[in-house]
Amino acid sequence: MRHKKALILLLVIPFLFFVLSHLLPFFYGIRLSFFDWRGNYVGFKNFVAVFNDQAFWDSIRFTLLYSGVVTLGMTALGLFIGVFISSLGFGQGFAKSVLLIPWAISLTAWGLLSQIALSQQYGVVNDFLLRFGFIQSRLAWLGDTTLAPYSVILARIFRDVWFSGLLFLAACQLIPVELYEESRVAGAGVLQNFIYVTLPSLRTTILFVGTILFIFSLQEFDLIFSLTGGGPGMATEVASLNIYRHGIRYGNYEYGIAISTIWSLFISLFVVTIFAPLQRRMLEQ
């Protein structure tokens, strides 16, 4: 009986720590959002202002676009990389070490490196495209409102796709060899093995990797802040940058907290109503 009480206590302590370190500041922040900078109670004035702010909705729209494209791109390319390396007869240990190198670089440092590579004047990307005739003049990858969103998306995919490839590589090595042997006896080729053996065996891994990548990309800040700062204009401003701009840079803390509250509730509602049921349905298939 004492052991059961001790076990319950050990389980309660982390929960209480979570409540104290996360929920209390969260609810305190919600309380602050009902006041102005002078400490006067203004009710839902900050929330109404947020809903009427077109920049807020633009940041939400780009965040969802950014997260969706980044998640799909890194999941699909990571799956291809993982399956390809798993099919190699040798050198897998070396490949695992190499795959970790880009992921080990901080997002801020990667943003600065990408800024140099995508520079209109001396960037290696423009030099490469000009040399092989893909473009006729240097492009402003980070200065054009049309090109900048694609640039930050590709920069993030190129940096983290190797990590998702490593996860898929580890999952591929857990697939029983007997499944491929039976498929080979039945006359299946490489494509048939991938469709009918590899993909069904990696369904849970695909869901896990996609979920993790989507959650991480929704929290994006470092890379875009160091790469474009949300510009040009606000073409690459994500929700976290919008919160930073109002709450920290401009010092409008109550308004920034109101944005944070709305964004948190939006994500929670999205997870409960769409993401969680989709996950459960895929796992039950």
Question: pLDDT tens, 70-126?
Answer: 999 999 999 999 888 888 767 777 777 777 777 778 888 888 889 999 988 888 999
Is the residue at 3 inside a domain?
no
Of 3-17, 50-64, 197-211, where does mean pLDDT reach its minimum?
3-17
Is the residue at 196 inside a domain?
yes
Is the residue at 24 inside a domain?
no
Backbone angles phi, psi at 35, to 5 degrees: -125, 160
CATH number at residue 164: 1.10.3720.10
Of 22-36, 180-194, 257-271, where does mean pLDDT reach its minimum?
180-194
| Residue bearing the bigger pLDDT, 173 or 59 | 59
Is the residue at 156 inside a domain?
yes
Q: Which amino acid is at 285?
A: Q
Is the residue at 150 inside a domain?
yes
Predicted confidence band at 41 (pLDDT cuts at 50, 70, 90)? confident
Distances (CA, A) of 131 to 48, 135, 148: 52, 9, 22
Is the residue at 276 inside a domain?
yes
Q: Which domain holds residue 167?
A: 53-284
Model pLDDT, residue 284: 61
Of 28-32, 98-102, 221-225, where does mean pLDDT reach its minimum?
98-102
DSSP letter for 19, please: I
Whether the pLDDT of residue 6 is over 70: the answer is no
Model pLDDT, residue 261: 87
Whose tokens are 């580890």? That residue is 170
Sign of the Cα torsion 156, 157, 159, 161 reads positive
**Beta-bridge partner residues of 35:** 41
Angle in degrees, CA 93, 98, 104, rounded to 5: 125
Question: Is residue 232 reached through a cis peptide bond, with omega within 30 degrees of 0 on the bond before it?
Answer: yes
What is the value of pTM for the model shown? 0.86
Instruction: Count structural domains, the chain.
Output: 1
Tokens in use for 65?
């676009």
> What pLDDT, in 10s, does the model give residues 154-163?
999 988 898 8
Model pLDDT, residue 30: 83
Is the residue at 1 inside a domain?
no
- For the segment 36-40, the average pLDDT, to the nearest whole number, is 81
Is the residue at 145 inside a domain?
yes
Model pLDDT, residue 280: 66
DSSP letter for 198, please: I
